[in-house]
Structure 1
């Protein structure tokens, strides 16, 4: 089994710290709901399981355009226009842009599933890792941490104490 890697570089512009340039704001819409993310490419999302455990996406679900969404999630392949092309079935499985931009891409060529599936990557575990980058977290050297740069197929993770300490440090909260 080959360990795969997050596509976010460990050093960005000569520094290891990532900061958000986006103002913290909540987008309220007519129904009062707050929209933090949007997903594009639903047809690709349905096919992203690559013959593995089907991803439970309703056929009735339609793309919704929240122009002011903080995060846009999509499945991409190869050179998809952000300057960080995917390598096909290979080393990099996903990447997120630095805080403030809000683009989060899964590599369509990798096998995906929801939950621990032997030959696929867990969508939720990878999403949690990439959202950590949106919040300003860098990669961790702690292997059990969600922000560790590498993951194996079939692995699922949640927040680790190291991840929580990282967020507290970014938010200057020590309680």
Structure 2
């Protein structure tokens, strides 16, 4: 993962970083190599705390090194943070029944990045990420569900009260 991030930096390619399990495995001084220069850094709240503790960096130190830090908050939704800007928290999309949490984080990131690829802003991207994560939570297995773009956007907008 560090080599891929280094290659992106070297070639000026935008990238997203999701250090997750690597946070506990890498030496603390190697961890910034996973996310330095990333357009988006993705963590959950536990991983955010672990990253800060293991590196000794402050949240602002990290935010100066990335474009945005997207932190998933489970049933509380997700928060997007940028250096010198107020954090924005978007509530989770209601879930009928949690069948299996496996793959919810991956689904969130897929929905988030797909919306940014479509030119949507951070808030809309988080809403869609939350909607796709909710779909994953309601299914057993990490990829045992089908979701069309239209159904996910409809769920995202309904979750936003629109």
TM > 0.5 between the two? Answer: no
Q: Which structure is higher in helix share?
A: 2
Q: Which structure is higher in strand share?
A: 1
The structure whose RCO (Cα within 8 Å, separation 6+) is larger is 1
